[in-house]
Amino acid sequence: MVPVIIILLLSTLPSSSSSIPNYSTKGKWKLLKSSIGVSAMHMALLPNDRVITFDRTDFGPSNITFPAEKCPPGLDCYAHSVEFYPAKRGVRPLTILSDTWCSSGALLPNGVLIQSGGNNAGERVVRTFSPCDDCDWVETRNGLVSPRWYASNQLLPNGKVIIVGGRRQFTYEFIPKTSSSVEYQLPFLKETIRSDAFPNNLYPFIHLNTDGNLFIFANDRAILLDYVHNKVVRRYPVMPGGVSRNYPSTGSSVLLPMNLSGSSATTPPVAEVFVCGGTVPDAVDKAIVGVFVEGAKTCGRLRLNDANPGWEMTEMPLRRIMGDMLLLPTGDVLIINGAARGAAGWEFAREPVLEPVLYEPGLKMFRKMNPTTIPRMYHSSAHLLSDGRVIVGGSNPNSNYNFSALFPTELSVEAFSPPYLFGPKSRPNITGIGSGVNLVYGQKIVVNFRLKGDEKKFKDGKVYVTMMAPSFTTHSFSMNQRLLVVEVAEIRRRFAENYAVVCLTPATPQVAPPGYYQLSVVYDGVPSRSRWVQIGS
């Protein structure tokens, strides 16, 4: 039988809203493990589908220890970092020697997690963790030029990582460090500081633009930085509303999904940033004296490369500070965790927001999801898993492990299953990638998938393919997060319930920095389990 070939050129990201039945639109929660031993202040997913989490080394005794023969010399036997394997719910203690409190990280092109900075003796340390069964943290004591506490990281087109800011650091630098490494002044960070005690510009939101420059948002405004020449090439309008969006008035941000259909090395896709939540600039001062100000409902969208960019404002259905914004493989945005009043910091927030919110960028519509029963306050985190669920952990608004406080230290991890995992529709299953998982830029690839059901009802216009860059999540910002909707050239019906989608990989490392991505086939709003692919060298 001659296969039927269907030509398909995507121009817009299909909306998933019409494909979700009413009875299953709010998702489900499931406890994965009541305790992983540490509070998941920081979280990263490796290409072997293990989740690395850690808090800080001076929190006091954790709830997990090393075997006696593996206790670090000169330290006690309590671990403050673990590897968690969601599929088997296994936990393995890891060794961190320096203080990782409020640090940052990214996944290198080779799949190694690189992690930088922290507090006290950890402020200049760079740590790496490789994805293997018995690997542990490796630390470089002077891996940074300057101390970095509350900084943000982004993987760059050349495979290096830029580190921006930190407490009392109005500079940026690059890792891995070389003998000639220096720091570069960034006056914008000094311009956006509110006060030295409560700056409202820590953990700046940074996103790699499609021209290779870096979008940096701090407090209530943003610039576009040419980090190669240390030059600000654009200043964006102040975000309206009188709300601060960065720590400790903590909101969150994502780079919205980029549709690569019709794009090329000379015609990059549209890049649009989305910023939500936060609170008034002095909310932390008021929280110190017991007055907990309402968080913001407002969000703003900004197209980075328009001739005259301006903020398009909207409102979430719930007020939120310290919320985590995560891209889903469908292109929707999940807003999860946080509180309705106060600010980030020790016991500075009230009224946990238990309901996640799903935002559909194409329709510009929010929908409330089913609530969790576990408050996820300061020092909580979340991350997308390869099976399409979102893992949620952490919450410790206390200076040590404290299980009797108003909001106790939380050692559990749970999973939120978005609406696309329920309902009568079949889920695509990737059966193979014809060209393998090592990709090059501008390459044509064939992704084979199976979709159970009546072939006569199959509609090619409901198929799209996405690539997700995994993030490093802490303090309500998922660094390096990026979702690309790749261009589809054709769809072939191979045989019963089996199809092949021919698509083009991203054209440049400015659009898709080299490294690992979670590739998914989405049909009628339902994503497959993702497959790891690697692009670039």
Residue 13 binned pLDDT confidence (cut-offs 50, 70, 90) = low
Same domain for 408 and 527?
A: no
Q: Is residue 506 part of a domain?
A: yes
- 423 pLDDT higher than 80: no
Structure tokens at 289: 């004296």
Q: Is residue 34 part of a domain?
A: yes
Q: 450: domain range?
A: 429-535
Same domain for 513 and 472?
A: yes
Same domain for 288 and 434?
A: no
Same domain for 480 and 509?
A: yes
Strands 357-360 and 365-368: antiparallel
Same domain for 209 and 357?
A: yes
User: Is the preceding peptide bond at 428 cis, omega within 30 degrees of 0?
Assistant: no
Same domain for 132 and 160?
A: yes
Structure tokens at 44: 């990263």
Same domain for 190 and 287?
A: yes
Q: Is residue 5 part of a domain?
A: no
pLDDT at 265: 83
123: Cβ contacts below 8 Å, ≥ 6 apart: 99, 117, 144, 147, 148, 149
pLDDT at 14: 54
Contact 276, 334 (CB under 8 A): no
Q: What is the CATH number of the domain that holds 238?
A: 2.130.10.80
Amino acid present at 498: N
Structure tokens at 17: 């809203």
Domain termination site, one of 373, 388, 421: 421
- How crowded is residue 282: how many other Cβ atoms within 10 Å of its Cβ? 17
Structure tokens at 298: 């407002």
Total domains present in the chain: 2
Calculate what percentage of the chain has a pLDDT beyond 70.
95
Same domain for 258 and 372?
A: yes
- Of 385 and 72, the structure prediction assigns the larger pLDDT to 385
Q: What is the CATH number of the domain that holds 453?
A: 2.60.40.10
Amino acid present at 171: T
Same domain for 394 and 493?
A: no
The Cα angle at residue 71 between residues 70 and 76, in degrees rounded to 5: 170
> Considering only CA atoms, which of 313, 310, 291, 292 is closest in space to residue 302?
310
Q: Is residue 446 part of a domain?
A: yes
Measured over all CA atoms, what is the biggest interatomic distance in the chain, rounded to whole angstroms?
76
Contact 413, 43 (CB under 8 A): no
Amino acid present at 119: N
Q: Whole-angstrom Cα distance, residue 69 to residue 210? A: 50
- 22 pLDDT higher than 70: no
Element (H, E) at 190: helix 187-191
Same domain for 527 and 387?
A: no
Give the global pTM. Answer: 0.94
Same domain for 415 and 452?
A: no
Structure tokens at 43: 């979280």
Mean pLDDT, rounded, for 516-520: 98
Residue 456 binned pLDDT confidence (cut-offs 50, 70, 90) = confident
Using CB atoms within 10 Å of the CB of residue 34, give its burial: 0 to 12 exposed, 13 to 18 middle, 19+ buried: exposed
- 18 pLDDT higher than 90: no
Mean pLDDT, rounded, for 418-428: 90
Q: What is the pLDDT of residues 480-499, one digit of tens each?
A: 999 999 999 999 998 889 99
Domain termination site, one of 371, 388, 421: 421
Domain termination site, one of 421, 445, 470: 421
Contact 124, 117 (CB under 8 A): yes
pLDDT at 434: 86
Structure tokens at 152: 């943000």
Q: What is the pLDDT of residues 161-181, one digit of tens each?
A: 999 999 999 999 999 999 999
Same domain for 486 and 393?
A: no
Q: Whole-angstrom Cα distance, residue 478 to residue 218? A: 15
Q: Whole-angstrom Cα distance, residue 514 to residue 304? A: 22
